[in-house]
Chain A
Amino acid sequence: MSVALPAVDIARALTRIAHEILERNGGPDSIVLMGIPTRGAFLASRLAALIAGIEGREIPVGTLDITLHRDDLRLRPLRALVPTMTPLGGIEGRNVVLVDDVLFSGRTIRAALDALGEMGRPKTVQLAALVDRGHRELPIRADYVGKNLPTSKGQAVKVHLSEIDGVDEVLVENVEV
């Protein structure tokens, strides 16, 4: 097990992503952040706070539970639902930035796109991920990446955030020996 991203790097990456989001969308006016629980939701709140710090105004943040849209429901044990929170003002016609901790197969994001469609029709959908570990199974890419982390499929990437894990770090573990 090795630390791929210590706390200070996570903070730097998030600050950079906050600037990139503002740059790409020409300011904070149309942006809505949607975190994918559990850890994506915390990352979305952090990004929102960073953007508020830069621009001096709040932007809408929501969470999006994708469980009911997953394509692997029958392959895995039952999952509990977590609350979805629609952001203030909804997502209709906004630039929605999905926020997740690890981008891997891309299936979570596919499910998230379906779940968003249930809420309304955004102008654009962008994707921010703290870690992109490769091994995509669908034609999906991130617009904002904290760190590209080349991994083998036998490894597991774990993101710990101080909100629930007490510490900020990204770990890479070898699962298969």
Chain B
Amino acid sequence: MRHLLSTSDLTYTQAIRILDTAAEMARISEGPVKKLPTLRGRTIVNLFFEDSTRTRISFEAAAKRLSADVINFSAKGSSASKGESLKDTAQTLQAMGADAVILRHSASGAAQRLANSHWTSGSVINAGDGTHEHPTQALLDAFTIRQHLRVGTGDLRGLTIAIVGDILHSRVARSDVHLLSLLGAQVILVAPPTLLPIGASTWPVQISYDFDSVLPLVDAVMMLRVQQERMSDFFFPTAREYSHYYGLNADRLKKMKPTAIIMHPGPMNRGLEITAECADSARSVILEQVTNGVSVRMAVLYLLLAGAPSEDGEITQ
């Protein structure tokens, strides 16, 4: 593996390896000394053309725990706001010697473009590109589910997971669908027809428009944020109606299996897709997802950057 652009590029073995490595990283993060010398002398650039809190901080924490040097670049307050292109920005970073670029961009496919170009020789990690993919989020979701429902090892065979809400604008949903089904889970998408992308019927998922009938079946329910900033059109009549049909509330919580967990990639619109009561309930693993994000990103950085460059990128024992 040289880049991490999409969860659909991952093989089953690679996905399991990332999760297993993340489990070791999590163990270290619980110890008294949360710092490893592994990536000392490597430079990692956080190249963020879109706003982000947790992803950028999470990558920064992961890189710093592995002793890499981190350069944060956000489009605001940089030459990108003066109209500098992705190409020029990437070449500038290359000239400064970046070993890896963590890219978030509003254009779908931006990470792929950067990886295919010769603008940078480093590894490219996709931290969200438009409405396309957000692979590290899916990996941390899978890791969290595995910790809770599969005692932290193996895959997700036999589990049913509902992804609920704004699938159309969600890169998290796309990455999750690929990864969770690769790991053997059954995914059910629950959304109003207007918020399902064209072509979702070809994905390896079931589709439902009725949240209440799905609830008793699932082991985990993943609520998605309604991405109002990407909505140039009206996708549902009112926020109240959306909450009524697709929001997670106390009544729906009662219909879930007693072991089922509640997830959300954040940031949450409390009161819209999820009530505060559900977000803060004992079933919610939303904050654990954030903690696990650091471990998963440490694993990805380790697997992409630690070894000597090799042709096939395969791993030795």
Binding site for B on A (CB under 8 A): 38, 65, 68-69, 73-81, 83-84, 114, 117-120
Which single residue of chain B is at the shortest CB-CB distance from A78?
B307
Sort A-B residue pairs by CB-CB distance and give the 7 closest, nearest first: A78-B307, A81-B24, A68-B38, A118-B33, A78-B315, A68-B36, A73-B306
Q: How far is the CA of A111 from the CA of B28 in the complex (A)?
A: 15
Task: Tell me whether B307 and A73 are in contact (CB under 8 A).
Answer: yes
Give the interface SS of chain B, mostly helix, strand, loop or mixed.
Answer: loop
Task: Tell me whether A114 and B316 are in contact (CB under 8 A).
Answer: no
Q: Which of B1-35 contact A (CB under 8 A)?
A: 17, 20-21, 23-24, 27-28, 31-33
**Contact partner of A81 among B20, B37, B314, CB < 8 A?**
B20
Q: How far is the CA of A117 from the CA of B34 in the complex (A)?
A: 11
Q: How far is the CA of A115 from the CA of B66 in the complex (A)?
A: 13
Which single residue of chain A is at the shortest CB-CB distance from B28?
A118
Interface string of B174-216 (1 = CB under 8 A from A): 0000000000000000000000000000000000000000000
Task: Tell me whether A76 and B37 are in contact (CB under 8 A).
Answer: no
Interface string of B25-61 (1 = CB under 8 A from A): 0011001110011100000000000000000000000
Q: How far is the CA of A79 from the CA of B315 in the complex (A)?
A: 5
Determine if B154 is an interface residue (Cβ-Cβ < 8 Å). no
Task: Tell me whether B310 and A77 are in contact (CB under 8 A).
Answer: yes
Determine if B317 is an interface residue (Cβ-Cβ < 8 Å). yes
**Contact partner of B24 among A76, A83, A119, CB < 8 A?**
A83
Task: Tell me whether A78 and B313 are in contact (CB under 8 A).
Answer: yes
Given A74-B307, A74-B308, verify A80-B28 contact (CB < 8 Å).
Answer: no
Q: Which residues of A contact B66 (CB under 8 A)?
A: 68
Determine if B303 is an interface residue (Cβ-Cβ < 8 Å). yes
Task: Tell me whether B24 and A84 are in contact (CB under 8 A).
Answer: yes
Task: Tell me whether B314 and A77 are in contact (CB under 8 A).
Answer: yes
Task: Tell me whether A118 and B31 are in contact (CB under 8 A).
Answer: yes
Closest beta carbon of chain A to B53's beta carbon, Å: 28
Determine if B246 is an interface residue (Cβ-Cβ < 8 Å). no
**Contact partner of B316 among A65, A68, A79, A119, CB < 8 A?**
A79
Determine if B143 is an interface residue (Cβ-Cβ < 8 Å). no
**Contact partner of B302 among A68, A77, A83, A118, CB < 8 A?**
A68
